[in-house]
Chain A
Amino acid sequence: MSMSTSEPEAAAVYLDYAATTPVDARVAVAMNECLTRTGVFGNPASQHVYGRLARARVEAARAQVGSLIGVPAPQIIWTSGATESNNLAILGIARAAQARAAHRRGAHIVTARTEHKAVLDPCRRLEQEGFRVTYLTPDTQGLIDPLMVRDALTAETVLVSIMHANNEIGVLQDIEAIGECCRKRGVPFHVDAAQSAGKVPIDLSHAPVDLLSLTAHKLYGPKGVGALYVSAPRRAEVLPLIFGGGHERGLRSGTLAVHQIAGFGLACELCASERLEETRRIEALRARLWDGLREIPGALLNGHPTRHVAGILNVSFPGIEGESLLMGLPELALSTGSACNSDSDEPSYVLRALGRDTETAQSSLRFSLGRYSVETDIDRAVGALRREVARLRAVAP
């Protein structure tokens, strides 16, 4: 997809769908219907007709989101996005367990070193509160062995949190097998599905998952809205983080943003109906991209060759510093896998967890493709990468 020339860096090819997606035009129409006085603008908590109409729109969206992951609508809790969903799941479950007598001290959580910061930071917060956290190390391709999860469980484990698709390398974890290990031990299992929902099939009617985080803006919905699936048996085991009115049956207070929720719902419905064809098309584009990039001497695929979401490709170009590479590609909008910016000189902790050395980790770029990516975008990206890698390698000592 090429952005219109009204944007900065005119006509830059957008290859950062894992960071966020544009709102689908059909979704924008649905959202717009919930904003003005002729639309569904009411407060869903109100009892009058405007409120009832808004409530109906919210509940229809709840059913659309639930349908995407195979769960009944009432088990969907609206949030502001996956970060809040992850916080609610992790802090909510852990603190509730701590409040129960059996886990007054030494309660334990299992997660992975490659999780998003929205999981790792709540876990670190819990460590400050006295919890013990096990951070599992994946194999060199990013996979967490379910047996590793099983072996990490103790009598004190109150939660396992493992993401479905990794945001940097796209690797898909076997959440069914991991969930089985947890279920056998009666341990709640939370999954961050921000990068996989709408892109790979998720059917929680069969998968042993107790909580699952979603966000709208990764699947062509608006920013600022997300959801947490909480299975019926676990609902009473989650303490809320936000108080003030008891919305969402006490789990998440606050007036519901009807336009965002309506947009989220339709975005999920569109993903469900178009996923197969879209995935096939994006997978082909990803293969075309990798075929072009692998011709660059030393190019190294980060992640798993087959177990990945269609749209994410992470590649290291050893000998090239990632931020310089990114700066040399103004015609492309993508992300470096390293965090070498003014705030941090640390290379990607995800790639370091895979065993990549520092230099390889800081030479990585994440390409993420989506609904509006086309072949000419891929060819332009490959051409630009070949040019810039050659230029920077010529400069290197």
Chain B
Amino acid sequence: MNAPAAAPDQLEPRIRELFGSLDHAGELTAERVGSAELAAERILTGEAGREALGTRVRFMLGIAAQRVVAARYRAYGCPHTLAACEWLARELEGRSFEGPLPTSLQALRIDTPLAWAERLGIPAAKLGRLLVVEDALRAALTLS
């Protein structure tokens, strides 16, 4: 047998908590923009990665009045990837920015994947997965 994956009890408690409560997984659709359910004026969507490479992430940010009013994601990947997506979605909701749209992670005061890893206790070997998460967020901010 190959080396087994980490057992659930070997994950950092913060990762376990996030992975166990993927509350922000889901969709923000254009049809819902401006509805009572979603008070966004615009949705920014970005995607990165491939399943065959182990990680694929799509981020959706609902924007209104220079604020991220909703953040959702869909993700295929290891527990650390899913936990990082959930954490970022929680962090992003409510963030304000200057100008009509946020154009960078810095504009939303989101730091680097290395800092995410340190904060969440994600092993260095998983940094590549976090870069895919970052790419999805960047794509949402620059391509939408």
To the question of whether A and B form a pair in one complex, the answer is yes
Interface positions of A (Cβ within 8 A of B): 8-9, 18-19, 116-117, 167-168, 319, 321-324, 326-330, 333, 335-346, 348-349, 357-359, 362, 366, 391, 394-397
B40: interface (CB < 8 Å): no
B125: interface (CB < 8 Å): yes
A395–B25 Cα distance when bound, in Å, is: 6
A253–B59 Cα distance when bound, in Å, is: 61
A336 touches B75 (CB 8 A): no
Smallest CB-CB separation from A349: which chain B residue?
B2
A255–B41 Cα distance when bound, in Å, is: 77
A323 touches B79 (CB 8 A): yes
A335–B125 Cα distance when bound, in Å, is: 20
A330–B16 Cα distance when bound, in Å, is: 10
Binds A, one of B31-39, B46-54, B98-106: B46-54
A9 touches B2 (CB 8 A): no
B74: interface (CB < 8 Å): yes
A397–B27 Cα distance when bound, in Å, is: 9
Encoded as 1 (CB less than 8 Å from any A CB) or 0, chain B from 1 to 31 comes to: 1111111110100001001101001000000
B78 touches A323 (CB 8 A): yes
Encoded as 1 (CB less than 8 Å from any A CB) or 0, chain B from 99 to 141 comes to: 0000000000000000000000001011010000000000000
Which B residues lie within 8 Å of A326 (CB)?
5, 7-8
- Residue contacts A-B, CB under 8 angstroms, 11 given: A8-B9, A9-B9, A168-B1, A330-B8, A342-B126, A345-B128, A358-B52, A359-B51, A391-B22, A397-B57, A397-B76
Q: Give the 9 A-B CB pairs with smallest separation, nearest first.
A: A339-B2, A330-B8, A397-B74, A395-B25, A323-B5, A327-B79, A342-B125, A341-B5, A342-B123
Which of B6, B52, B125 makes the CB contact (< 8 A) with A357?
Answer: B52
Smallest CB-CB separation from B74: which chain A residue?
A397
B56: interface (CB < 8 Å): yes
A321 touches B78 (CB 8 A): yes
Which of A321, A327, A396 makes the CB contact (< 8 A) with B11?
Answer: A327
How far in angstroms is the closest Cβ of chain A from B59?
10
How far in angstroms is the closest Cβ of chain B from A384?
12
Chain B contact residues: over half helix, strand or loop, or mixed? mixed
Which B residues lie within 8 Å of A167 (CB)?
1
Which A residues lie within 8 Å of B53 (CB)?
358
A341–B1 Cα distance when bound, in Å, is: 13
Which A residues lie within 8 Å of B125 (CB)?
342-343, 345
B4 touches A341 (CB 8 A): yes
Chain A contact residues: over half helix, strand or loop, or mixed? loop
Smallest CB-CB separation from B73: which chain A residue?
A395
A324 touches B1 (CB 8 A): no
Which B residues lie within 8 Å of A391 (CB)?
22
B71: interface (CB < 8 Å): no
Which of A341, A357, A397 makes the CB contact (< 8 A) with B3?
Answer: A341
Which B residues lie within 8 Å of A8 (CB)?
9
B77: interface (CB < 8 Å): yes
B82: interface (CB < 8 Å): yes
B58: interface (CB < 8 Å): yes
Q: Could you say which of B5, B25, B79, B82 has the most chain A C-beta atoms within 10 Å of its C-beta?
A: B5
Additional A-B contact list (13), CB under 8 Å, known A323-B79, A341-B4, A397-B56: A168-B2, A323-B6, A323-B78, A324-B82, A326-B7, A328-B19, A328-B20, A328-B79, A339-B3, A339-B4, A345-B125, A396-B74, A397-B47
How far in angstroms is the closest Cβ of chain B from A359?
5
Smallest CB-CB separation from B25: which chain A residue?
A395
A8–B19 Cα distance when bound, in Å, is: 19
B2 touches A344 (CB 8 A): yes
A336-B4, A359-B51, A397-B47 are contacts. A324–B9 as well, Cβ < 8 Å?
A: no
A80–B6 Cα distance when bound, in Å, is: 26
How far in angstroms is the closest Cβ of chain B from A347?
8
A117–B54 Cα distance when bound, in Å, is: 23
A321-B77, A394-B25, A395-B25 are contacts. A338–B52 as well, Cβ < 8 Å?
A: no
How far in angstroms is the closest Cβ of chain A from B104?
23
A112–B118 Cα distance when bound, in Å, is: 42
How far in angstroms is the closest Cβ of chain B from A195?
10
A358–B51 Cα distance when bound, in Å, is: 8
A352–B128 Cα distance when bound, in Å, is: 22
B1 touches A366 (CB 8 A): yes
Which of A18, A168, A324, A343 makes the CB contact (< 8 A) with B79?
Answer: A324
How far in angstroms is the closest Cβ of chain A from B19?
6
A329–B8 Cα distance when bound, in Å, is: 8
How far in angstroms is the closest Cβ of chain A from B35?
22
Smallest CB-CB separation from A361: which chain B residue?
B52
Which of A335, A340, A357 makes the CB contact (< 8 A) with B54?
Answer: A340
A395 touches B5 (CB 8 A): no
How far in angstroms is the closest Cβ of chain B from A246?
34
